[in-house]
Amino acid sequence: MNIVFLDASTVGDLPNLDKLKEFGEVTFYQTTSADETAGRIQNAEIVITNKVVLSRDLMEKAENLKLICIAATGMNNVDLEAAKELDIEVKNVAGYASVSVAQHTFAMLFNLLQPINYYDAYIKSGEYSKSPIFTNMERNFSELRGKTFGIIGLGNIGRKVAAIAEAFGAEVVYYSTSGKNSDQPYKRLELDELLSASDVVSIHAPLNERTKNLVGREQFSLMKPTAFLINTGRGGIVHEAELAKALDEGELAGAALDVFENEPIEPDSPLFDIHNPNKLVLTPHVAWASLEARTELIEGVRKNIEEFLA
């Protein structure tokens, strides 16, 4: 088979990438721009893409194309209706990143909740060596024990986050963005109730017509001024300009985002202009990307090709 991986740099250098070669000749492109896609898939029978968009027009011109493997869970970069009409099978990989995203969620939260970077810098600056006491009481931090931990979107990732929050002694509540998820061992609240009650709000929902700008100015006004907002779900769920304003006006204590309305983030994003940068933690859409998760992702792609060819 003639196999083309359009954006291999998005999964990094993995030991199992070469396993894809067992199915035929594989061409790895590190990145592919929109004007390069047509030429690169022209003779391909199998195309692997993480984020490169495959439109109806592109698929119609790729006359040999039989299978599209999405190296991700989300499938919004492929015109699925057109693929079906053109008899091109599309397969994604689900469930590979749940542990990675849950771990990253708490890494970002603790970065906000407990100022490790401050303490580290305090010691390395030499100031601790001059201290008349054995510790440092300049900044307060709090425990998760006894706090209300609100989760927006209680799917596979949300449930893992919930279990970790419970292990720290937090009370978990959740909001179902679909309105259908009721059979859970946690208290289900409406969004306004969750925002008002929670000390931590963690978003693990897909981006769709129900969740676009779900958390904006009105919602920030409901939150406790001591609360933290974490988004490892999808950019566009949180209105970024209004988040920046809410942080500046003290409507919440801090926020952490791994996903953004535009990726990569725009250089003039209002998030870069908040008055106190310590209130905001930003990471470049890497919550999903532990070494283990990326390795499992490629194994999922390999299995999808194997099943297609069986």
Out of 40, 104, 234, 239, the active site residue is 234
For position 205, what pLDDT does the model report? 96
**156 and 130 housed in the same domain:** yes
Mean pLDDT of successive 10-residue stretches along the chain, which has 310 residues:
98 96 98 98 98 98 98 96 98 97 98 95 98 97 97 97 98 96 95 98 96 98 98 97 98 98 97 97 98 98 98
Question: Is the CA virtual torsion 190, 217, 280, 114 positive or negative?
Answer: negative
> Is-cis flag, bond preceding 264, omega within 30?
yes
CA distance 71 to 51: 8
Residue 90 and residue 95: Cα distance in Å, rounded?
Answer: 17
Residues 111 and 83 placed together within one structural domain of the fold = no
Q: Tokens for 105, please give them.
A: 């969620």
What's residue 156's pLDDT?
95
CA distances from 141 to 121, 144, 280 (A): 17, 10, 16
Q: Considering the candidates 159, 204, 239, 285, report the single residue annotated as catalytic.
A: 285
Is 242 one of the annotated active-site residues of the chain? no
On whether the CB atoms of residues 280 and 305 are closer than 8 A, the answer is no
Is residue 204 flagged as an active site residue? no
Q: Is residue 225 located within the same domain as residue 80?
A: no
Q: Do 127 and 196 fall into the same domain?
A: yes
> C-alpha distances in angstroms, 78 versus 75, 144, 304?
6, 41, 16
Has 299 been annotated as catalytic? no
Q: Give the chain's domain count.
A: 2
- Do 55 and 190 fall into the same domain? no
pTM: 0.95
State the alpha helices, DSSP H only, in the chain: 34-41, 56-61, 80-85, 98-113, 116-124, 156-167, 191-197, 217-220, 240-248, 291-309
Are 179 and 223 members of one domain?
A: yes
pLDDT of residue 31: 98
CA of residue 300 relative to chain centroid, distance:
19
Sheet containing 2-5: which strands, arranged edge to edge? Answer: 25-28, 2-5, 46-49, 67-70, 89-91
Same domain, 67 and 113: no
CATH code at 71? 3.40.50.720
Task: Indicate if 260 and 117 belong to the same structural domain.
Answer: yes
Give the Cα separation of 142 and 188 in Å (integer): 25
Identify the pLDDT of residue 308.
98
Q: Would you say 36 and 30 are in contact if contact means Cβ atoms under 8 Å apart?
A: no
CA 123 to the chain's CA centroid: 33
Which residue do the tokens 């009105």 mark? 218
Same domain, 121 and 244: yes
**Which entry of 263, 292, 306, 307 is annotated as an active-site residue?**
263
Same domain, 115 and 64: no
Domain range holding 62? 2-95+291-309
Same domain? For 187 and 115 the reply is yes
Pair (297, 151) in one structural domain: no
Measured CA to CA, the distance from residue 232 to residue 301 in angstroms comes to: 23
